Structure 1
Amino acid sequence: MTLDRTMVVTPYPHRWPALVALLLGEAMNLLDATVVQVAAPAIHADLGGPVSLVQWFGAAYTLPFAVLLLTGGRLGDIAGRRRMFVLGVTAFAVASTACALAPSAGLLIGFRAVQGAAAALIVPQTIGLIKAMFDGEETAKALGSIGPVMGLAAVCGPVVGGVLTHADLFGSSWRAAFLVNVPVAAVVLALAPKLREDRAPHRPALDWPGTALAALGTGLVVQPLIGTDLGHPTPRDGVLPLAGLLVLAGFAVQQRRSARPLLEPSLFARRGFPAALVTSTAFFAVTNGLSMVVVLQLQLGAHTGVLTAGLSLLPWSAGLAAASWLAGSRLVRRYGRRLMPYGLAVLLAGLLAAVGAYATATPGRYPTALLPALALVGVGTGLFTPAFFTLALRPLRPQEIGSAAGLLNAVQQLGATLGVALLGSVYLTGTDLDAARTACWTATALVGVAWAASGRVGAAAS
């Protein structure tokens, strides 16, 4: 019996260098979402302006990023995912250079908004391009690498911002935190020709009414959370999210009636995908909110410098990197959906250890016992994310990829914003160590939400 050579599938030869380009693009964008957390005081001291502008150094990036993710995913379906990825990386590099050279706070905020819009073009393309270049078990391994990269980038943001600001390379101070994007973008663009072009099999049209409703609703929900003075909410901060939820409800009705919906309706027919959205929201609220509380407590309570605050997150980063590599290379295949609750259990143990560290710390002194607790948090995060993203994305069909990628990334950003607002507010409205403990207890409740929802994700993927 002869082998029918027409049935042999030749693996895409450039898939691994292309994966490096995609992951670097993801990391560059998500790193920039948190890189100004510890650099913001130095930026304000240099550029001046009202203190209220400080919160917008981060918010100006996060808001357009969150609002435009759905549109970025759909544009990849329509015009080609590699094309949108390259366009986004190019715009991101130019905007990063402009941020580094900004002579005033107002211009910096404007350039940060351009960065956020460019990021919304880049991030949603990753899933579709991976599925276009990988087959079989390699697809699961490649998809499983997304979560650890996202988590590591989010945690490393304050570290990178603190190290570069403290180093003051060539007198650049905080500007180096933006200039570092330029060589990374150059590497990504050099590898971009290795990417295989991909788009939806049936080219959809862009749903302009749906796009407008999604952008408006998301903006109304997210803006008060990232644009308010944490710890001092106003009535407006409650009214705008409520209005945003009503607009998003109108968006849901419009999508059901639209002949060319922005989101594929079949996504919500899958019982696992809505649960994946809840899981992602709760999980990234914990990781992003907790990292902010740690940085705030170290600088405001323990009176450490920017470098010490940033480097204190290194045990978290190291634990996440080691655990995610082990999970992606071996444990996901061996344990499957069971790895998600294992990872969340380790994360919960880290949070409880952090409660203990803050309970035994001396006011005004560095809480040394916090470091092993953060290492446990990193290990739990690294075990959970490869399994979660592999199982959440496994059932997707080609026509669902753009919508799913944009929506998953949008709720991740929403979760991160909720976590920063909620846990940051809990800390800032309390008394240093007591408030830090309360924030950790709040995070344990969010882990419980992620635990319950992730069970449905695993069951649907089985």
Structure 2
Amino acid sequence: MKHTTPTTLPPTGDLGGSSKGEPTDNRASDGPAADRRVARHPASRRTPRPGWLLAIVLTGQLMAVLDVFIVNIAAPTVRADLHASGAGLQLVIAGYTISYAVLLITGARLGALIGHRRMFLTGLAVFTGASLACGLAATTGQLIAFRFVQGAGAALMLPQVLSLIQRTFTGGSRARALGAYSAVLASGAAGGQILGGLLVEADLFGSGWRPVFLVNVPIGLALLALGPRLLHDPADAPRPRGEGAAVRRSGLDLPGLVLLAAAVLLFTVPLVLGQERGWPLWCWVTLGLSAALVALFAAYETRLARRGGAPLISPRVARAPGIPRAVIRIALAMAANAGFLFAMTLHVQGGLGHSPLRTGLTFVPTAVAFGVVGLNWQRLPARWHAATVPGGFLLAAASFAGAGLALRDGTDGGPWLLVALTASGAGLSFAYSPLLTRTLATVRRQDAADASGVLVTAAQLGLLTGVAVFGAVFLGAADDTVPSAGASADALWVTCVALAGAALCGALMSLVRRVGHLR
């Protein structure tokens, strides 16, 4: 069977101390009565605890990222136990990703309207409940339905992570928090495969694949118990008279929501199902319709903003300096990450015949390198920071080519593969973490929710695109009639060359920008 690889598209010195880094809430007051209402509100008396906030939101993010990769490793066991068809198993794996990608922007906007803390806890509750339901599912249909609900919970929860970091940290502490965010994003990918392999092979109490979902339940319950006391968001304070009514009148921009959800759905479904179905005509038609709906959505949002409405994505954010380029490069970095993990997983587990656990352990150097760079790149001299992103893409390109060469003879690659995997993690982290930090640093505080939603969605769509494009390259180059290590190694080499080319494109975008500045 063909896997659908997920995403899966970052310590702080003052994280646990004072609240000096927390932005002030600039809402207007309607007089002493409003001041008294705010003073009585518990949120206004709660002492912000940035370190606890970061630990809670990043643990929630880690669960959501782990869940995709864990299920990928457990897929063969799920199929055997539930007698799932190929299409049914695809939907078990991809249903989470589809609903997640479709609802991400909506989750970001709901956080801005209702409060990021409230929406994070709501999404966490939905995700935890759906995880329990997945672990107890008796049929393939039930598991598919609960996976869609799980993805919806993640979509409500995860956009709030970046928004809460933006609202809570400033300066160097924000850069370190965003480095931790990037590190968690990458470690979740490899960690999911490792944990999935451990749980499936352990077969706890004869439960087979079910612990890969049930492991979320105790963690989620602990976060739900701690979150209401330890999370703080200035948006949770009651709005003065007039402002709350204005926010309610602005609504959720339902026409924009429908247009964007339809565009993302038409984009993700063919990417998820196209390879398995042989890329029939309907896949290309839906991709074309998706592009048309994106154009219609952009036109509608621009018109709504000109009329004084509240668009789902503010055109001001979409046109902010650096945002369009950052969206492309973040999507490119995550596509390369997902494509590399996908092809390597198929080769190591299929071509070389290694166990799920050993396959997962293969990616430990990548995850460790990504995490170390994500947490420490800002310690480099400031004059080097401008070179981190293009340098990261170049290092990633070299590492992809190196991994392909190390495995090209059909062996396990030896120490050279270890070097290449470590370099790939470091390169992708240099390409992603500084880019995310610098882009968000240019966004105004009131636009944090929109910017977070756009960048997270770009990362997720990049991950899906990477699996579809580079997965098609690998599977097209592989000789399915001869399932040998040599044939798989040849296919991996072709894929690694394509991945290196994609990474070089990311580096060239910096060169184009510099030429533009010189002119």
TM-score (norm 1): 0.91
3-state DSSP class of the match of 2:78? Answer: helix
Deviation at 1:386?
2.4
- Distance in 2 of aligned mates of 1:262 and 1:233: 32
- Distance in 1 of aligned mates of 2:213 and 2:184: 19
- Distance in 2 of aligned mates of 1:222 and 1:293: 19
In structure 2, the partner of 1:264 is 314
Deviation at 1:141?
1.8
8 Å CA contact 1:280, 1:415 repeated in 2:
yes
- Distance in 1 of aligned mates of 2:134 and 2:343: 26
Distance 1:356 1:216, change over 3 A: same
Please, which runs of 5 or more residues in structure 2 have no aligned partner?
Answer: 1-17, 23-47, 479-487
AA partner of residue 181 (structure 1): N
Distance 1:129 1:103, change over 3 A: same
In structure 1, the partner of 2:284 is 238
In structure 1, the partner of 2:14 is none
- Distance in 1 of aligned mates of 2:258 and 2:432: 32
Q: Is the aligned partner of 1:226 residue 2:226?
A: no
AA partner of residue 495 (structure 2): A
Q: Decide which moves more: 349-358 or 207-216.
A: 349-358
Distance 1:300 1:11, change over 3 A: closer
- Distance in 2 of aligned mates of 1:249 and 1:15: 40
- Distance in 1 of aligned mates of 2:371 and 2:175: 18
In structure 1, the partner of 2:330 is 280
- Distance in 2 of aligned mates of 1:244 and 1:344: 29
Distance 1:336 1:423, change over 3 A: same
Distance 1:361 1:123, change over 3 A: same
In structure 1, the partner of 2:455 is 408
- Distance in 2 of aligned mates of 1:206 and 1:126: 20
In structure 2, the partner of 1:450 is 506
Deviation at 1:351?
0.7
In structure 2, the partner of 1:144 is 179
In structure 1, the partner of 2:475 is 428
Q: Decide which moves more: 212-221 or 229-238.
A: 229-238
In structure 2, the partner of 1:385 is 432
Deviation at 1:324?
2.3
Q: Is the aligned partner of 1:175 residue 2:210?
A: yes
In structure 2, the partner of 1:419 is 466
AA partner of residue 75 (structure 1): L
In structure 1, the partner of 2:142 is 107
In structure 2, the partner of 1:50 is 85
AA partner of residue 445 (structure 1): G
In structure 2, the partner of 1:440 is 496
Q: Decide which moves more: 192-201 or 81-90.
A: 192-201
Q: Is the aligned partner of 1:195 residue 2:231?
A: yes
Please, which runs of 5 or more residues in structure 1 have no aligned partner?
Answer: 1-7
1:21-420 map, 5 Å = 21-192=56-227, 193-199=229-235, 203=247, 204-230=250-276, 232-258=278-304, 259-328=309-378, 330-331=379-380, 335-362=384-411, 366-368=412-414, 369-420=416-467
AA partner of residue 179 (structure 2): G
Q: CA RMSD in A?
A: 2.3
- Distance in 2 of aligned mates of 1:271 and 1:429: 39
Deviation at 1:231?
7.7
AA partner of residue 281 (structure 2): P
Distance 1:454 1:123, change over 3 A: farther
Distance 1:353 1:209, change over 3 A: same
The superposition leaves residues 380-414 of structure 1 with CA deviations (integer Å, 9 ceiling, x where unpaired) of 22333321211111111122111111111111111
3-state DSSP class of the match of 1:429? Answer: helix
- Distance in 2 of aligned mates of 1:75 and 1:218: 18
AA partner of residue 267 (structure 1): V
8 Å CA contact 2:409, 2:489 repeated in 1:
no
- Distance in 2 of aligned mates of 1:118 and 1:9: 30
Deviation at 1:441?
1.1
The superposition leaves residues 121-168 of structure 1 with CA deviations (integer Å, 9 ceiling, x where unpaired) of 111111221122223321222123222221221232222222211121
Percent identity, aligned pairs only, is 33
Deviation at 1:332?
7.6
Deviation at 1:115?
0.6
AA partner of residue 282 (structure 2): R
- Distance in 1 of aligned mates of 2:179 and 2:512: 18
Q: Decide which moves more: 344-353 or 93-102.
A: 344-353
* Number of residue equivalences: 449
8 Å CA contact 1:228, 1:237 repeated in 2:
yes
8 Å CA contact 1:61, 1:113 repeated in 2:
yes
Deviation at 1:346?
2.2
Distance 1:180 1:337, change over 3 A: farther
AA partner of residue 197 (structure 2): G
- Distance in 1 of aligned mates of 2:353 and 2:96: 28
- Distance in 1 of aligned mates of 2:218 and 2:510: 37
Larger Rg over CA atoms: 2
TM-score (norm 2): 0.82
AA partner of residue 243 (structure 1): L
Q: Decide which moves more: 127-136 or 276-285.
A: 127-136
Deviation at 1:181?
1.2
AA partner of residue 352 (structure 1): A
The superposition leaves residues 332-374 of structure 1 with CA deviations (integer Å, 9 ceiling, x where unpaired) of 8563232222322222221121121122334xxx343433321
AA partner of residue 192 (structure 2): G
